[in-house]
Amino acid sequence: MDEFMKIAFEEAQKGYAEGGIPIGSVLVHQGRVLGRGHNKRVQQGSVVLHGEMDALENAGRQPASIYKESTLYTTLSPCPMCSGTILLYGIPKVVIAENRTFRGEEELLRARGVEVEVIDDSACYELMQKFIQEKPALWNEDIGV
């Protein structure tokens, strides 16, 4: 796991420790972390703060020029909401720890010119599997099922 995915995974672990959904993310601009975050459905009762959204929110208002040189790291394949947000801001690259638990809109992202890299990290996968076994209803709620 590279240094930025490690941060995303730390965020996921923080979310799990809080009783939340263990998905974390970090937005990186030219080697510098702009924002990090994790899913806040449980902690803030939020339906929009998936891990990726929380990382972007914590990065704050950025000019388009910055997004266009940034990479978003996420512990899980991005859902339609997070993928749409990547498209809105023109983020050119997404690094995904795993997509075995859930496969988001990777094809749509690729079709729109986003570089999508899937690492298939087992630590992120195992954390999600543990969580889903413990709280299946919460997981379903998070993906609109």
Active site residues: 52
Q: Select from 7-15, 16-24, 73-81, 125-133 the region that touches a second copy (CB under 8 A).
A: 73-81
Q: Are residues 24 and 75 in contact, defined by beta-carbon separation less than 8 angstroms?
A: yes
| 75 vs 85 by CB, closer to a second copy | 85
Strands across the sheet containing 93-96: 32-38, 24-29, 70-74, 93-96, 115-118
Site string for a second copy, 93-122 (x = CB under 8 A): ------------x--x--------------
Q: Could you give the CA distance from residue 61 to residue 115 in angstroms, rounded to a whole number? A: 23
Q: Could you give the CA distance from residue 27 to residue 40 in angstroms, rounded to a whole number? A: 17
Q: How far is the CB of 99 from a second copy (least distance, A)?
A: 16
Task: Tell me the two tokens of residue 100.
Answer: 């075995």
Report the site for a second copy in 26-65 (rule: CB under 8 A).
41, 45-49, 53, 56-57, 59-64
Among 16, 73, 89, 139, binds a second copy (CB under 8 A): 89
**How many C-beta neighbours within 10 Å does residue 96 have?**
25
Per rule CB under 8 A, count of chain residues that contact a second copy:
34
Residues that bind a second copy (CB under 8 A): 41, 45-49, 53, 56-57, 59-64, 67, 79-85, 87-90, 105, 108, 140-141, 143-145
